[in-house]
Structure 1
């Protein structure tokens, strides 16, 4: 079966079966809310899972500090996972205005 492509609003073609970045809509018009919720979920999920693992190890070994190490490891792991999925990168260039990017797309400038 041939690989069908769809054309995005900006004219670029994206493979139809390409997996989108989790938490980011195809049009990128969500204002970052979905990406923020995905980052939040990864971090909170990591804290919960690794804290439970640490709690279990604390129970088995009779210690009291592994649960805290697990929570820290889960938070770092959640942030790393969201970073690797591209959810923590900025979509716009910081420190630049639209005028700094060069001539307009239509090429008609009033420069003399």
Structure 2
């Protein structure tokens, strides 16, 4: 069976993905739909997993409130993971800021 030869500079045909951010491709690094779905899955997955853990502990210990604490912990954990993966930050890809944070050039002329 002949081996396929690769020419340098020719793309392999596979889309490149950003390994640090699941669900976000390198071509569309600003996120968009994929980032939204990743945030949604982190939050819903956290709520489901930690609610089930809380439900199990409630069953073992005969309480009723741990399932709610688990759901809250799962939601907070999902937001935390989304933030740590950079999915919830607003990014400006052009490199320019919308409004300057430095003092205005006119000095104190507009001060009251």
TM-score by length of 2: 0.64
Q: Hey, what does 2:103 align to over in structure 1?
A: none
Gaps of 5+ in 2: 1-8, 10-15, 101-112
Aligned to 1:54: 54
Change (3 A) 1:68 1:17: closer
Larger Rg computed on CA atoms:
2
- Match of 1:37? 37
What per-residue deviation string (whole Å, max 9, x for no partner) do you get for residues 16-57 of structure 1?
897241121111277610000000000000000000000000
Any conservation in 1 of the 2:17–2:25 contact (CA below 8 Å)?
A: no
- In angstroms, what is the RMSD of aligned CA positions? 2.8
The structure 1 segments of at least 4 consecutive aligned residues displaced by more than 3 Å after TM superposition are none
Larger relative strand fraction: 1
Q: How many residue pairs align between the two structures? A: 84
Q: Map of 1:5-20 to 2, 5 A cutoff?
A: 19-20=19-20
Task: Report the counterpart of residue 66 of structure 1 in structure 2.
Answer: 66
Q: Is the 8 A contact 1:48 1:71 kept in 2?
A: yes
